Amino acid sequence: MKATLKFSFGNVVMSSRLVDGDYQFNGDDSRFNHHYRFQVRIQFNKKVRYFSYWTSYNDWRNGKEELDESDYKNALNCVLSDSYAAQNTFEDFCSEFGYSTDSIKALGTYNDCKYYSKRMESLFSGFDLLSVQSELEEMM
């Protein structure tokens, strides 16, 4: 399914494809560690960016193998939230999210957020990402 999100500054077109039908996160041995992993495509002003998005255990259990408009809004909100979190220093990032500053995994997560922040800034160039996210949250 494809969805067009109508913002005040223009339309954002989103689509996805299922990449993994039973994705399990490392280090999580719970019975709820089953998810679908999607590659999400975002297009704005002829620019395209991709990112991964994991759905919930309930979506996996219920066989929901396709994203809808609500899922796209949630996915975009997640990547924008991560982008905003990456504006902090590594120490502030760890403090805000409860990570140890001595953790390689935390550093990897921080670097991933920095990477997606750059991707979102280049996609929405000229727009404040926090404003984009605020407008998106009003749609949700």
Angle between helices 129-139 and 69-85 (to 10 degrees): 150
Reported confidence tier of residue 29, pLDDT bands at 50, 70, 90: confident
- The confidence score (pLDDT) of residue 2 equals 94
Tokens for 7, please give them: 């913002």
The CA distances from residue 131 to 86, 87, 89, in Å, are 16, 15, 21
User: Residue 82's domain spans which residues?
Assistant: 3-139
Reported confidence tier of residue 76, pLDDT bands at 50, 70, 90: very high
**Residue type present at position 21:** G
This prediction's pTM: 0.86
- The confidence score (pLDDT) of residue 87 equals 87
- The confidence score (pLDDT) of residue 92 equals 94
Reported confidence tier of residue 21, pLDDT bands at 50, 70, 90: confident
Percent of the chain surpassing pLDDT 70: 100
Q: Where are the alpha helices (DSSP H) in 6-85?
A: 57-61, 69-85
pLDDT digits (tens, 9 = 90+) for 96-139: 999 999 999 999 999 999 999 999 999 999 898 889 999 999 99
Q: How many domains does the chain have?
A: 1
- The confidence score (pLDDT) of residue 66 equals 94
Counted residue by residue, the chain has a size of 140
